[in-house]
Amino acid sequence: MTVQAAEIATEETKAPARIADSSLLGLTEKHGLETLATRARIVEVLLRRQYVERKKKPCNQRPKDSNW
């Protein structure tokens, strides 16, 4: 079998969509990552540990490998 034609696509990846605090809490609840006692602190812990960053209202996922 021989290749008769090929194309190279030059595309860039896109950052994940921004989500609001309430959506983030909904995801943690959906995946069983929270309890009623911890619900109020989930977003603040994620921000403090720098897993996400807050730009205005929505939270953005922060790359794990970055040296911020």
pLDDT tens per residue across span 14-44: 877 778 777 888 888 888 887 777 876 877 8
Mean of the per-residue pLDDT values for the chain?
78
Nearest-angstrom CA–CA distance, 27 and 16: 15
Beta partners for 36?
A: none
Cα torsion 54, 58, 64, 67 to 10°: value is -30
pLDDT at 53: 76
Q: Is the pLDDT of residue 10 over 80?
A: yes
Decide which of 63 and 54 is more confident. 54
Nearest-angstrom CA–CA distance, 28 and 31: 5
pLDDT at 5: 92
Question: pTM of this prediction?
Answer: 0.46
Overall residue count recorded for the chain in this entry: 68
